[in-house]
Chains A and B, each alone.
Chain A
Amino acid sequence: MSRSALVARLAILGLLVAFLVAPQAFAPVFAPLNEYGAPAIYDQGDLLELALSHLWLVLIAAAASTVVAVALGIFVTRPAGAQFLPLSRTLVNVGQTFPPVAVLAVAVPLVGFGQAPTLIALFAYGLLPIFENTIAGLESCPPPVLEAADGLGMNAWQRLRQVELPLAVPLIMEGVRLSLVINVGTATIGSTVAARGLGEVIIAGLLSNNAAFVLQGGLVTALMAILLYDGMRLLEQRYLPTSRN
């Protein structure tokens, strides 16, 4: 990432933090959107707390998706698991095509209101990019490299740990990032089943016809998604040698 791009990201981060910590300072910016003296800044909860709770929800769901999708991706690319590839692919695809709202509707009667149904929906929704990228990454390892790993005396586990996974990591991380970004946006629907998150701000705005609220919820969510994506890429480039080449 170039220096100017980095400065731009840091500026966005600073703006976001400033807004979350002291939202009233931004009231003049949002006031023109509302008429009849309606509040310009969300006043039914602490924005910072909502944003952190939103982020937390997304990170937990992404961690769970990553563990399951990567494990499944590894399994179906081993000789023993190859026959389960079509089945796994179908299941993961269903997780993506089944709308998260519908997942919530199914999950609430089973696990109640709150964070649990939202986590389930985000988990299922985030599997596909990670799963497919894990498979693509593992299958993109050059055959001569794998042959050398075998020829030098690595067993199956060592070959996976020392050669295949390191080579697949850039693609896997690409999938994780994609999944995270999708779910930062998707998590707003969690507020319909009482999960604490930025969706509350948007819904409150829709209910009271307050455009400023809707915009605030949407903007904070969008900025979080952008920063998360770029921040992860920076970390990868810093700590994963294979991502640099």
Chain B
Amino acid sequence: MIQIDKLCKRYGESTVVDDVSMVIEPRTMTTIVGTSGSGKSTLLRMINRLVEPTSGRVLLDGNDTTAEPAYLLRRRIGYAIQGLGLFPHRTVADNIATVPRLLGWSAERVSARVTELLELFQLDPGLYAAKYPHELSGGQQQRVGVARALAAKPNVLLMDEPFGALDPIIRTKAQDDLLGIQRRFGTTIILVTHDIDEAFRLGDRVAVMSQGRLLQHDRPAALLTQPADPFVAQLTGSGDKSLKLLSLTTAGEVADQGIVTGPNVSWSMSLRNVLAELVWCGAAAATVVGPDGDPIGHVTLASILARGRQAR
């Protein structure tokens, strides 16, 4: 658990982060969203003390983060930024091995971990371990960056616009991979983004920041249905609120028993996409198929529309 307690950061006269308090539950993904200059990156960097707070404190599992030297704290917290942060003079394997080596792992353990991570991120170790970052595509660099952040198995992973430099298709894939990793390892992830759709898609909870203040920190659906501030309402969108709400639920979560005639949709597809599919096919219901391809139930157009109306 991460407790952020009345955290402030001032540079001279200007207050960048203004009295932010929040609690981040373990094994969840929290996204911090806001416009540029909202203080979201500064807030993130105060967690691993890349920025030292002016006042307030951060507790990691109950322990004050200032209790040990900052560089030791940072070795326990994963940190990933845009692909540009890779060390250009080190191979992919050596980049990933950075923190384990700082922690003094044995050579065998380091190389086993590097191989494991490369495979996890679908990078063939034989092909990619010895490559240099400039020989990789943007998407591959980004995966190496996340692999490097996870190398020493941190409980907490901080990510600052990790997908900012990716094109939309690779970006969606990277987001899916991150969700998979979060579920698999139960890492507590805090991700900063300026993209509200990304924040909604990834976050179990979304924190909205503006001008250094934390406006709301809640479940994505609550942000849509009960915005605490006009800025939150504006950011979450007024026109397509119902569609955003539908995009937060997957077909598998709401499927009813029984199979119907209509298109097949995947259990992991969001209701927003199911709706689009139904509109496209001119059907009134769709059969939901599970991960192994077997039908597990159905959703109807009427039930989707009913869910979307909750946004009012």
Contact = CB atoms under 8 A, between A and B. Distances in A.
Interface of A: 142, 144-145, 147-155, 158, 163, 166-167, 241-242, 245
B206 interface: no
16 contacts: A142-B88, A145-B85, A145-B87, A147-B50, A148-B87, A150-B71, A151-B50, A151-B79, A152-B74, A152-B102, A153-B74, A153-B99, A154-B102, A155-B71, A158-B71, A241-B89
A80 B48 CA distance: 23
A151 B81 contact: yes
B23 to A, nearest CB: 23
Contacts of B174: none
Contact of B89 (A147, A155, A242): A242
Contact of B81 (A148, A154, A241, A245): A148
B86 interface: yes
Given A151-B48, A152-B99, A153-B71, A144 B81 contact: yes
Contacts of A147: 50, 81, 85
A142 B84 contact: yes
Nearest to A243: B89
| Chain B interface residue number, banded | 20 to 34
Contacts of A166: 89
A158 B98 CA distance: 11
A163 B149 CA distance: 17
Contact of B132 (A145, A153, A245): A245
Interface string B82-95: 10111111000000
Contacts of A152: 74-75, 79, 98-99, 102, 148-149
A154 B48 CA distance: 13
Contacts of B148: 152
Contacts of B149: 152
Q: Top 9 closest A-B pairs, CB basis?
A: A153-B75, A148-B85, A151-B79, A153-B74, A144-B84, A144-B85, A155-B71, A242-B89, A166-B89
A190 B136 CA distance: 52
Interface string B63-74: 000000101111
B134 interface: yes
Contacts of B88: 142, 145, 167, 242, 245
A148 B134 contact: no
A154 B84 contact: no
A241 B130 CA distance: 12
A242 B89 CA distance: 6
A145 B86 CA distance: 6
Interface in B34-82: 48, 50, 69, 71-76, 79, 81-82
